[in-house]
């Protein structure tokens, strides 16, 4: 009986420690200004660059929007790997900042582009996210 109590107590204590390291950011908007992607569970993975660090959040995809859309508009995009000249504007459902204003982007159809817009585009903003601690 005592061993069972100790096992349960230890398990609850470890769960409490884990939960204290993973903070839910309820009611606070998180700007995905570095990256927005979807994990294998369909949850949004939002990376936000703050004043000195990049934080990663998991967010319900249904809580992630940009101007009432689940994509961001980016101009000056080239179809990746095609060698086709010219650029287009894309609706990027997932994106990641490569350098400066350069982005890798996939539109809702999953077609990959590299974009070099003149201006930093609007980004997806999520709420009800969980901060993922650094490993």
Tell me: the pLDDT tens digits for 40-88?
999 999 999 988 899 999 999 999 999 999 999 999 999 998 888 899 9
> What is the band of 4 on the pLDDT scale with cuts at 50, 70, 90?
low
Q: Is the dihedral of CA 91, 97, 99, 100 positive or negative?
A: positive
What is the chain's percent helix, strand, coil content, to nearest 5?
Answer: 15, 45, 40
Nearest CA among 115, 105, 126 for reference residue 62: 126
pLDDT of residue 28: 81
pLDDT at 95 over 80: yes
- The pLDDT of residue 19: 45
Contact between 119 and 100 (Cβ < 8 Å): no
Average pLDDT, the chain: 85
Range scoring the smallest mean pLDDT among 7-21, 98-112, 121-135: 7-21
For the cut 60, the answer to whether the pLDDT of residue 6 exceeds it is no
Whether residue 15 has pLDDT greater than 80: no
Q: Report whether 26 contacts 128 (CB < 8 A).
A: yes
pTM for this structure?
0.77
**pLDDT score at 27:** 63
Residue 33: the pLDDT is: 95
| % of the chain surpassing 70 pLDDT | 79
Distance CA 31, CA 44 (A): 12
C-alpha distances in angstroms, 18 versus 5, 47, 59, 60, 73?
A: 20, 21, 18, 20, 38
């Amino acid at each position: 009986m005592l061993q069972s109590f100790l096992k349960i107590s230890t398990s609850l204590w470890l769960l409490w420690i884990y939960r204290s390291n993973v903070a839910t950011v309820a009611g606070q908007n998180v700007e995905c200004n570095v990256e927005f992607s979807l994990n294998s569970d369909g949850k949004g993975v939002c990376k936000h660059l703050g004043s000195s660090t990049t934080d990663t959040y998991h967010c319900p995809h249904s809580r992630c929007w940009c101007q009432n859309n689940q994509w961001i508009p980016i101009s000056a995009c080239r179809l990746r790997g095609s060698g086709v000249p010219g650029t287009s504007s894309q609706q990027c459902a997932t994106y990641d900042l490569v350098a400066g204003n350069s982005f890798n982007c996939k539109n809702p159809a999953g077609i990959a582009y590299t974009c070099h817009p003149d201006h930093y585009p609007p980004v997806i903003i999520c709420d009800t996210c969980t901060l993922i601690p650094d490993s």
